[in-house]
Amino acid sequence: MPVLPELAAVLAAASARTRPEPPGGGAALREAARGYWDRRGLRGAAGGIAAAPGAQPLLLALIGAHGGDVLMPRPCPAAWMPQARLLGRPAYHVPTPAECGGIPDPYALLETVRRVRAEGGRPKLLLLSVVDDPTATVAPPELVREACEAAVGEGLHIISDETWRDTVHRPRDTVLLSPAEMCPDDVTVIDDLSGALVPAAWPVAVARFPDTARAAVRHARTLDILTALGAQVAGPVAHAAAHALGEPDSVRDRVRRAAALQAEVAAAAHRAVLGSGALARPPQAGRHLYADLGPLRSRLADLGVTDSMELEEYLTDRLGAPAPGGHRFGDELGALRVRLGTGPLLGATPQQQTESLAAAKPLELAHVAQALDGFTAVFRALR
């Protein structure tokens, strides 16, 4: 999406700021993040917030601040497993329930914890995302509760990645429950602002810690690690991020319009995928969908595609846009799964993307219709 003019103006006005923010973020950025979460029912103090230049250094610092082994759902965001491995932490995937991605099946979680402990491991940390990348699903509250209760009951601390919470396609029809609402003392929330509020080229992410003595120690450790990494938010970016976190009308309108646009385009892409005979959960949030082309295995084998790496190469070449295979998200190499981005369907230029945002019926725009026709043709050829 094109940069919101108001945010660009705020960034430009702060361009003379030559010093980065202190490790963990300055007072204005942390206070803006506190207000953002307060409006979502997660009240706390600005002192319990940390900021970093993007989700990856922030998550690295958070994992480093916790001891023990790391558990995460399968599939999960592509960066999660490498972060744990970089720190030398044993990490384990847990299957997700049939209804959604992003959270572990509670019974599978308990079994994984039991198995890891029996093998001498120390499971201490669970990563999850109730609004999920890569599956574009929103976990039902009852499943979130069961998974969180199972994790806390086994002594795990939860890091809830809520980067995509503001991209829910139909917020009035979707019940979104943060794990921090249910287990406030046992959940740290992180949010990469590039999910909905600022451009990806302006790296900034924030974390909200529980209001406990133990969390205060982990907050301090996190700041130590961010300091050692030199992971400080650029001054102008921090100023723009604080403005976006304040959610003025222009930002709220852009977020709402973008989510509504993605809802229509993602639904059309989903219909095209299902029309080929492939499988995919209906996308509920974000800018992508996760497809399982297992039912098309025979046809794909005839085309020389037998695993997700070959599927990624095949679809990326024909769609003209990245189509990362499921192996990048922790799925088995032999599973023919792929994440399909919907962003390229909105237009190839900022002008076309702006037209898509403003259109009452974006699917009728010539450039969107043409892009969807090309997308559909690629999958139709696999039938």
Instruction: Convert the pLDDT of each residue in 55-108 to its tens digit.
Output: 999 999 999 999 899 999 999 999 999 999 999 999 999 999 999 999 999 999
Kindly give, in sequence order, each residue whose CB lies less than 8 Å from that of residue 111, ignoring residues fewer than 6 positions away.
none
Mean pLDDT of 153-176: 96
pLDDT of residue 18: 87
Residue 267 contacts by C-beta under 8 Å, 6 or more apart in sequence? Answer: 282, 283
pLDDT at 307: 98
Q: How far apart are CA 340 and CA 271, in angstroms?
A: 13
Q: Which two tokens stand for residue 304?
A: 């020389």
Give the per-residue pLDDT at 91.
97
Residue 63, SS3? helix
Residue 310 has pLDDT above 90, yes or no: yes
pTM comes to: 0.95
| CA dist., res. 190 & res. 206, Å (int) | 6
pLDDT surpassing 90 at residue 348? yes
Q: Where in the chain is the domain with CATH 3.40.640.10?
A: 5-247
Q: Please name the residue that has the structure tokens 């319009």.
A: 257
Radius of gyration, alpha carbons of the chain: 21
Contact 270, 120 (CB under 8 A): no
232 DSSP 8-state letter: -
Decide if pLDDT at 1 tops 90: no
Using a pLDDT cut of 90, give the percent of the chain over it. Answer: 98
Torsional class of 233: left (φ above 0), alpha (ψ -120 to 50), beta (otherwise): beta
Extended strands (E) in the chain: 49-52, 69-74, 91-95, 123-128, 157-161, 187-192, 205-208, 279-280, 288-292, 337-341
Delimit the CATH 3.90.1150.10 region(s) of the chain: 250-380
Give me the amino acid identity at 152: V
Alpha-carbon distance 127 to 49, whole Å?
18
Read off the pLDDT band of 295 (50, 70, 90).
very high
- Region 306-312: mean pLDDT is 98
Mean pLDDT of 136-152: 97
The pLDDT of 188-213, averaged and rounded, is 96
Q: What is the pLDDT of residues 16-63, one digit of tens each?
A: 998 899 999 999 999 999 999 999 999 999 999 999 999 999 999 999
Bridge partners of 71, per DSSP, are 92, 126
CA distance 140 to 135: 14
Yes or no: domain 250-380 corresponds to CATH 3.40.50.300: no
Q: Give percent above pLDDT 70 in the chain.
A: 100
What is the average per-residue pLDDT within 267-291?
A: 97
CATH 3.30.1280.10 for domain 5-247? no
The CA distance from 87 to 204, in Å, is 22
